[in-house]
C-alpha cells in the first residue's frame, strides 16, 4: 500500500511539473495558488514576447545558438515549435536585437524553470504535511 502511495505521489509531482512547463503558472494553479499562477503567467509570457518582439522569431535558433535554445525551451513546448520553424534559417537576425532578444527569451525560460521547480516542491510539501497530520 505504501509503494502505491509513493507511486501516486511521484505521478502527481510529474503532472504538476509537466503542466507548469506546458503553460507557465499552471502548476501553481493546480495547487490552488491562483494569484501566484497569474503573476507567473504574465511575467514569463510578457518577458518571452518582449524578447521575440525585439529580436523576432529568429532568436529561437536550435542550430546556431544551442545554449540559448536550451534555456528558451524551458518556457513552453511552443518555443520548440518556433525552433522547428526557424531551423531552415529563413529568419536571420543579426546584431544587437538578436543578442537582446536571446537574453530576454532565455531569461524567461530560466524564470519558468524556477517556477516549475517551485511548483513541484510545493506539491511535495503538501504531501509531507498531509502525512505528518
Task: Please report, for the chain, the start and end positions of each structural domain, with discontinuous segments joined by +.
Answer: 26-132
Q: Percent of the chain having pLDDT more than 90?
A: 65
- Rounded to whole angstroms, the Cα distance separating 41 from 115 reads 10
- Rounded to whole angstroms, the Cα distance separating 133 from 131 reads 6
How high is the pLDDT of residue 91?
Answer: 77
Residue 127: pLDDT over 80: no
pTM equals 0.87
Lowest mean pLDDT among 6-15, 37-46, 108-117: 6-15
Cβ neighbours of 123 (radius 10 Å): 21
Phi, psi dihedral angles at 90 (to 5 degrees): -80, -10
Band the pLDDT of 1: cuts 50, 70, 90: very low
What digits encode the pLDDT tens for the residues 37-81?
999 999 999 999 999 999 888 899 888 888 999 999 999 999 999
- Rounded to whole angstroms, the Cα distance separating 84 from 87 reads 5
Band the pLDDT of 2: cuts 50, 70, 90: low
Amino acid at each position: 500500500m505504501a509503494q502505491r502511495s509513493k507511486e501516486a505521489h511521484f505521478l502527481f509531482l510529474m503532472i504538476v511539473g509537466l503542466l507548469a512547463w506546458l503553460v507557465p503558472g499552471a502548476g501553481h494553479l493546480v495547487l490552488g495558488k491562483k494569484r501566484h499562477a497569474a503573476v507567473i503567467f504574465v511575467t514569463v509570457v510578457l518577458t518571452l514576447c518582449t524578447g521575440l518582439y525585439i529580436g523576432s522569431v529568429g532568436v529561437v535558433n536550435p542550430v546556431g545558438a544551442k545554449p540559448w535554445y536550451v534555456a528558451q525551451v524551458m518556457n513552453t513546448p511552443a518555443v520548440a515549435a518556433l525552433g522547428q520553424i526557424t531551423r531552415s534559417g529563413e529568419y536571420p537576425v543579426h546584431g544587437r536585437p538578436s543578442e537582446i532578444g536571446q537574453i530576454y527569451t532565455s531569461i524567461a525560460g530560466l524564470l519558468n524553470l524556477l517556477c516549475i521547480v517551485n511548483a513541484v516542491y510545493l506539491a511535495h510539501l503538501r504531501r509531507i504535511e498531509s502525512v505528518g497530520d
